[in-house]
Amino acid sequence: MTRIIIVGCGIVGAAIAYELSLIPSLEITVIEQKTPASGSTGAALGVLMGVISGKKKGRAWKYRDYSLRRYETLIPELEAKTGVKIPVNRQGIVKLLFEGDNLEKWRQLQQNRQNNNWQLEIWDREYLTNQCPQILDERIVAAVYSPQDRQINPQILTKALVEAATDNGVEFKFGVSVNKILSSAQEEYSQRIMTSQGNLESDWLILAAGLGSTPLTDSVSQKLDLRPVVGQAMKLKVNQDLGLAEFQPVITGNDIHLVPLGNQEYWLGATVEFPDELGNAIAEPELLEKMKADAIAFCPELKNATILETWSGKRPRPQGQPAPVIGKLANYQNVLLATGHYRNGVLLAPATAKEVIDLIS
Ligand SMILES: Cc1cc2nc3c(=O)[nH]c(=O)nc-3n(C[C@H](O)[C@H](O)[C@H](O)COP(=O)(O)OP(=O)(O)OC[C@H]3O[C@@H](n4cnc5c(N)ncnc54)[C@H](O)[C@@H]3O)c2cc1C
């Protein structure tokens, strides 16, 4: 049996645990200091900006392409195994284009996607108004519709992954924190960690601890610079569905997502708030207000909405390297980093799990 320890049970750790659990002869343990999806994943909206992202090549596109495809099989697989109904919006994403947006760039992306068997539609203003009558803003010139992008509830998805992985034999230790890595770079075959419940040993150690990955790599003097970027969001209730009841896609305007949840409820988010020079990131109430005002500017009906809930989370953003950070910890053969997913951890979780499996095997 090959022993694998995964630190962190956000969407990334849970996806890795589940995908690894499908491989025989592995003894997998996940260590989480709190509960599943209690970090960044707990705040996420689960919008999968894949086809509609500007990414065309390299690993950025490869990961998106893989993840979108894997989600199509993963969701039914998890639902069948666990009986958990995972909320998925399959009506796509409508991205609003404003004056000054480069329409030609979107036409080129549409062509590129078509060559790779993905669809994008470019809508003029009139067609947008027919499809999404709730959108009313003189500044909007067109829209891009991505029917194959999805939105998935990240918290329920994480719980389903944990349940399915448990069923496949993965051991989860919740309420246990990893304090430091004890093994040195020379120890190739055995990785030791100190936890709040004693020391543990494994053949592979996978750091999927989001922002918590940085103190762990610090413990072996390896620099992994992840900075917190705050995101605030809110849940709204309106009197009747916005726009057409039968067409409720995610609408994205000026980097704000309006996510339909059913029952006349919507998520609206998220702000992007960078840390100060000292690395402190504190949610600013006026930025949440501004986000709501910006959304009302393109969807005026939102001004009558009732705010049911507001929350914030911190996205793990790598400094000086692109997100995400997946690969071997420098000088360590059997310690893997699977972290720093910044704004796209839910989208990229399946591809991250695949990359980890490739590295292990
Ligand atoms: C408001 C907001 C909206 C977002 N919307 C989207 C979106 O629409 N689509 C999308 O793809 N992404 C979105 N994101 C980004 C996404 O949430 C993150 O990229 C993703 O959740 C990262 O997942 P993770 O598992 O790596 O980290 P986390 O979810 O932070 O999980 C890490 C886990 O490790 C645990 N941990 C840390 N240190 C230790 C330790 N020493 N010992 C034990 N356990 C430890 C933590 O408790 C935590 O549970 C959003 C983020 C925010 C804040």
Tell me the average pLDDT of the chain.
Answer: 97
Residue nearest to atom 22 of ligand 1 (CA): 345
Rounded to an integer, the average pLDDT of 29-49 is 98
Least Cα distance to 111 among 97, 98, 121 occurs for 121
What pLDDT band is residue 189 in, cutting at 50, 70 and 90? confident
What is the distance in A from the centroid of ligand 1 to the CA of 121? 31
pLDDT at residue number 186: 77
| pLDDT digit string, tens, across residues 103-125 | 999 999 999 999 999 999 999 99
Extract long-range pairs of 21-24: CB within 8 Å, 24+ residues apart: 21/164, 21/165, 21/168, 21/169, 21/170, 22/168, 23/357
Q: For residue 333, give both structure tokens.
A: 């053969």
CB 30 within 8 A of CB 195: no
188 Cβ contact partners less than 8 Å away, ≥ 6 residues apart: 333, 334
**In the predicted model, is pLDDT for residue 337 greater than 90?**
yes
* Rounded percentage of the chain residues whose pLDDT exceeds 70: 100
Q: In terms of pLDDT, which residue wins out, 74 or 279?
A: 74
Q: Is the pLDDT of residue 188 over 80?
A: no
Is the CB of residue 206 below 6 angstroms from any atom belonging to ligand 1?
Answer: no
Does residue 256 contact residue 295 with C-beta atoms inside 8 Å? yes
- For 83-88, which contacts have Cβ atoms below 8 Å and span 24 or more sequence positions? 84/156, 84/159, 84/160, 84/163, 85/156, 86/152, 86/153, 86/156, 86/157, 86/160, 87/152, 87/153, 87/156, 87/261, 87/262, 88/150, 88/151, 88/152, 88/153
Q: Minimum mean pLDDT among 14-18, 37-41, 185-189: which range?
A: 185-189
The C-alpha angle 74, 77, 78, rounded to 5 degrees, equals 85
How many angstroms does the Cα of residue 237 sit away from the middle of ligand 1?
Answer: 26
Structure tokens at 146: 């991505």
Ligand 1 pocket check for 315: Cβ under 6 Å: yes
- Rounded Cα distance between 72 and 90, Å, is 10
**292: helix, strand or coil:** helix
Q: Are 164 and 18 in contact (CB under 8 A)?
A: yes
Start-to-end CA span in the chain (Å): 14
pLDDT in tens, 144-155: 999 999 999 999
Binding site membership of 183 for ligand 1 (Cβ less than 6 Å): no
Residue of 252, 305, 273 whose CA lies nearest to 47: 252
Q: What pLDDT score does 346 carry?
A: 98
**What residue ranges define each of the domains in the chain, with the CATH number in brackets?**
1-88+150-225+320-361 (3.50.50.60), 93-147+227-317 (3.30.9.10)
Nearest ligand 1 atom, CA 11: 25
**Predicted TM-score (pTM) of this structure:** 0.98
Residue 151, beta-bridge partner list? 47, 89
